[in-house]
Structure 1
């Protein structure tokens, strides 16, 4: 995974300087155009180079005209500001990244090049765009919050549908598309809460369990059938999400901006007195494990490095 670290204030300062330069170019364009017109015999190339166009017809940033240069500077300034705002929004959403010294830093996330990518530089040139940055950061956070709420609603409804009309299967299918994105995972776990997150395993088990009434005496008996494969697929999505959220570089904060320790949160949830705590203890392996991605095995070791080791030790 790749987090692009930036200093939003300094980036905004650079964007401001680019805007100033664009204003200067535009002013010079007007001066040259005016001087050419005042001489009553304007040079055609000067007219073309200094022609003012409406915004929707503005020349491309690669144009050699004054308008093209000015537009290119403003476009670059807007791109820089978009990235700094994404980093700020991610931080204000309760998701921060850590610098090597452990201090929080402003970053935005982008997916690593796929294995076997021949031209890595070309990959980053094509990937590090405003649209992609928004897709994997602010939009990812919004999707995680809405889809986690939808899932809880659907699991608790009588017909297995959320108010949006989507079924549990439909919601999980969409969720699985983003399950390995750290920003999505962090926002998902944060929105649901660790306790409710662990309780989802039980609900997945219940939705894959059917009871068929007996047609022979005793009539009050029923045959229980459990779709282990279906339940495992559902829980597997949770494992991916928790794995993405529990990376050492990712910090989740509560509504007050205070960092949450996922290990402590899981330990607190499974240590709750009574049946609820015991059920969470038995479910925590499925909800917190994704063994196909990390080599370490056992409990949350598979989805959080040192954090996982602490959870394993606690169990």
Structure 2
């Protein structure tokens, strides 16, 4: 989001001066025009002084500028007076979403009109949900109102107006609790049916609206902060069922809550007791004869059936959308010492609490790992202390995920969250794949009994546990492949070509061997589990070849990122456009992937000018079996040949490029670029696989041991 800051008095003075200037100039021009008309245009200047003439047009432009500035100033004054937008000293501001053009119309839409529309939509939603026919006074259904709300769900002024119109956080949460009945129905046999998808969609909209409200400068009436209002709302006796509603709103997809709100709320929520109850056990009302926390004959009001009551679930889920909040919460104190991050006592105690508490047995660790993912993105911070602190927490996150969480407890959401953590350690991951170490990551830094092999095994075990999830596999593969290629932005010698493709081959061999091992271990699993793992392995290969080819053919760049940057969310494969992740042509096998990688390496050798003999590009070598020229190459007027392969290359292209490489032989490849490429690929893949499979057919002498329990 962006705020545009203005100085009210200075800008108003400028606008007034500009309006005065334009007014006096227009009066002068009108006076000249009248005089000229009365004298029958003696100097032939009519086209220079009438209303259509250039001077009038330019003065009109200035007048329009003054009006547009006034709109912006008026909106800033209105937003500031309502406490919605921030101030910076004497400067007031108005809001615009990122990427939205700063025009008077847009300024009004996302400020004053957002307040009006927020209040109107909040009223309509309450009317529609409460009326017998399910329609508001303005004729909209609940779903239609929610659709309209989704257009402005991330606008702070809108969110603040919605929550205020409901009457504050208490009533907003109560509305969510009551809204569940809109999505429930009872059939003729008296069986309750819940439209969970419909309710989830509604909660996602309302969650993002609440998140945007926390990003305004306004606070709920009667409270000093949004976190105060939320905490009091869910802990007041008789209404503690509201926790389920707040958790649902905090966990809404892509809802970005204010940083301080999340950190303060989590700090207070961690003191609330919780017994690990599963989200699916949450009823629609909290009533009973006795509870350790609620007492005898308790009634804690309505709850959101099937949603978590874990106090830390929702707030940690929200931290997955706000890396700064995740970092601040997980790293409250500490300092650098001798080049290493040393956590403070508060950080240690918090980590002990989070790793030792009872989480919701179904979704609790989805939240904790979301916060881990958010924190890991801060490894890319320009601030060395921040990056070091985030790295310390990443190491503890990996240790917790492998050593304290049984593999059977991993959910698909956990796998995707942890894939972000792994992706943000891609440089260290590539070091392991190339027979190096995780130096700099600090795994097991507090345990002198652990060896470097233990560290590699822990890291690889985590990758093994994630790689059967398609989105996780895509995220890890994209990060590792990008990191492997980062040292070779411009290949100028066959030796560099060999080094590049050896490292890329290491990554493929390492990840493919882990994926193959996971598939083997799933032989007795359900058909669905085996298919998911097989799909993930296929996606891994597709991502790998696409990222490698991005530097040669172009498409697929969305799957690659530069080392030094970090990822905040996993790649969601089903949301990618076909051009971002094209299907691999033909069956996915190690040999077909090797041939694709060779074809890409040969193409890069050609395009980088490493094949220096012009005879290598003789038409006789660049035609198919029927004598037709290949469509995937072109020759420039200067005689330079370029290989333009699809990304990834098709089966026909792979065959054609290999036929060309075999045909030119060493005779027309004096620098042995093709041989260098082949040697790099074969060596890299072999070394990467051997780390997992061992050096012998029996799999002995493995450098890495995977913990599969």
TM-score interval (norm. to shorter): 0.7 to 0.9
Paired residue for 2:235? 271
Distance 1:270 1:104 in 2: 37
Q: Within 5 Å, which residues of 2 pair with 1:205-216?
A: 205-214=180-189
Distance 1:72 1:82 in 2: 15
Give unpaired runs (5+ residues) of structure 2: 270-709
CA contact (8 A) 2:5 2:93 kept: yes
Paired residue for 1:300? none
When Rg is computed on C-alpha atoms for both structures, the one with the higher figure is 2
Q: 2:177 aligns with which of 187, 202, 208?
A: 202
Q: Calculate the aligned-residue CA RMSD, in Å.
A: 2.4
Distance 2:25 2:191 in 1: 80
Paired residue for 1:188? 162
Q: Quick one: structure 1 residues 162 and 105, their matched pair in 2 at CA, closer, same or farther if it must change by over 3 Å?
A: farther
Distance 2:226 2:173 in 1: 12
Distance 1:87 1:243 in 2: 21
CA contact (8 A) 2:4 2:94 kept: yes
Paired residue for 2:105? 131
Distance 2:29 2:137 in 1: 56
What's the CA shift string for 1:38-85, capped at 9, x where partnerless? Answer: 7666222x222112x4xxxxx4xxx622x2232222111111111111
CA contact (8 A) 1:145 1:188 kept: yes
Q: 1:252 aligns with which of 215, 218, 227?
A: 218
Residue 308 (str. 1) matches residue 262 (str. 2): yes
CA contact (8 A) 2:163 2:169 kept: yes
Distance 1:48 1:174 in 2: 50
Paired residue for 1:90? 79
Distance 2:4 2:63 in 1: 22
Distance 2:240 2:200 in 1: 20
Q: 1:143 aligns with which of 95, 108, 117?
A: 117
Distance 2:244 2:31 in 1: 76
CA contact (8 A) 2:185 2:192 kept: yes
Number of corresponding residues: 268
CA contact (8 A) 1:96 1:251 kept: yes
Following superposition, the deviation at residue 7 of structure 1 comes to 1.7
Distance 2:90 2:140 in 1: 38
Paired residue for 1:297? none
What's the CA shift string for 1:156-187, capped at 9, x where partnerless? Answer: 22222212221111111111111112221122
Give unpaired runs (5+ residues) of structure 1: 54-58, 114-123, 215-221, 295-302
Distance 2:129 2:173 in 1: 14
Runs (4+) of structure 1 exceeding 4 A deviation are 34-41
Distance 1:34 1:281 in 2: 75
Q: Within 5 Å, which residues of 2 pair with 1:1-315?
A: 1-33=1-33, 36=36, 42-44=42-44, 46-51=45-50, 53=51, 59=52, 64-65=54-55, 67-99=56-88, 105-113=91-99, 127-192=101-166, 193-214=168-189, 222-247=190-215, 250-253=216-219, 260-274=224-238, 277-292=239-254, 303-315=257-269
What's the CA shift string for 1:107-134, capped at 9, x where partnerless? Answer: 1111212xxxxxxxxxx7xx21111111
Secondary structure of the equivalent of 2:192? Answer: strand
Distance 1:234 1:149 in 2: 16
Secondary structure of the equivalent of 1:10? Answer: helix
TM-score normalised over the length of structure 1: 0.77
CA contact (8 A) 1:242 1:289 kept: no
Q: Quick one: structure 1 residues 224 and 104, their matched pair in 2 at CA, closer, same or farther if it must change by over 3 Å?
A: farther
Higher relative contact order (CA 8 A, sep 6+): 1
Secondary structure of the equivalent of 1:165? Answer: coil
